[in-house]
Amino acid sequence: MNAKGQLTSPLSVEEQERFCRCEEIVEEGMPTFVEVGNALLEIRDSRLYRQDYSTFEEYCGKRWKMSGSHAHRLVDAARVVANLSDSPTGELPTSERQVRPLTQLESAEQQREAWNKAVEAADNGSPTAAEVQRAAAHEAYMRRQRGVCDIIATTPPRKLSAREIERKELRSELREKCHQLVELFNQIDTPGEGRALLSDLDAFLKSHENKAAGESERQAASNAN
């Protein structure tokens, strides 16, 4: 039983050895967050704490005076650093605070991209936590934008109705006629003739607008019924 009187399963000899090795790393390597994070990861995922503690968080609090949230941050940071091990910059984070913004990114690829940009932007090649935060936020924004573009690119166009196709063809024809009309106006020398033609065109457009409005009202009434 553990301190709370709960039944626990004993550790095997091999697990006890692993547990001792991990605790030595945690105890001796507190300043080196990567090693500590990896040791805590093994203790957590293999439940090496279970002989004396009910939960990983209880183990961290009582054994190391460490909050469960901080322990999980160290584990997440160690995982991110492993993803950055092949970074082309050759520079790796030196503190958990530097890594923390990268843990919010979805993939190892995003983490590497954001870290590389932060290193390149830093004056001395060692970015601060704030600089990494900005790079991570930018990478997350760009990934969302690329996702939206991918959705748009892969969404099939809506099939047009026969009426919509007809109206599209008419608009194209009208656009062509307008270009021709402009050319004709340029050939007219008498201003009066140009104004008369414009008056006729204005009357036609008003008639067309009234006709279109009437069709829209009838369509709306039909849909309502």
Is residue 42 included in any domain, yes or no? yes
One domain for residues 59 and 7: yes
One domain for residues 37 and 1: yes
* Residue 203, domain extent: 162-215
Is residue 222 included in any domain, yes or no? no
One domain for residues 171 and 210: yes
62 pLDDT band (50/70/90 cuts)? very high
43 pLDDT band (50/70/90 cuts)? very high
Mean pLDDT of the chain: 80
Number of structural domains in the chain? 3
Is residue 223 included in any domain, yes or no? no
One domain for residues 146 and 194: no
pLDDT of 210 reads 72
Q: Is the pTM of this model over 0.95?
A: no
Q: Is the dihedral of CA 19, 23, 25, 30 positive or negative?
A: positive
One domain for residues 8 and 74: yes
Of 32-41, 48-57, 180-189, the least confident = 180-189
Is residue 221 included in any domain, yes or no? no
Is residue 90 included in any domain, yes or no? no
pLDDT of 21 reads 83
Does the pLDDT at position 17 exceed 80?
yes
Is residue 40 included in any domain, yes or no? yes
pLDDT of 191 reads 57
One domain for residues 16 and 71: yes
In the listed set 39, 56, 83, which residue is the last one of a domain according to the structure?
83
One domain for residues 79 and 151: no
pLDDT of 75 reads 94
In the listed set 130, 155, 180, which residue is the last one of a domain according to the structure?
155
pLDDT of 66 reads 92
Does the pLDDT at position 186 exceed 70?
no
Is residue 202 included in any domain, yes or no? yes
Is residue 89 included in any domain, yes or no? no
Does the pLDDT at position 5 exceed 60?
no
pLDDT of 47 reads 93
One domain for residues 150 and 168: no
Does the pLDDT at position 136 exceed 70?
yes
- Residue 106 tokens read as 């979805």
Does the pLDDT at position 67 exceed 90?
yes
pLDDT of 77 reads 93
In the listed set 155, 171, 196, which residue is the last one of a domain according to the structure?
155
Question: CA-CA distance, 223 to 137, in Å (whole number)?
Answer: 47
pLDDT of 59 reads 94
Question: For residues 160, 165, 168 and 174, what is the CA-based torsion angle, rounded to 10 degrees?
Answer: -170
Q: CA 136, 81, 146 angle in degrees (round to 5)?
A: 35
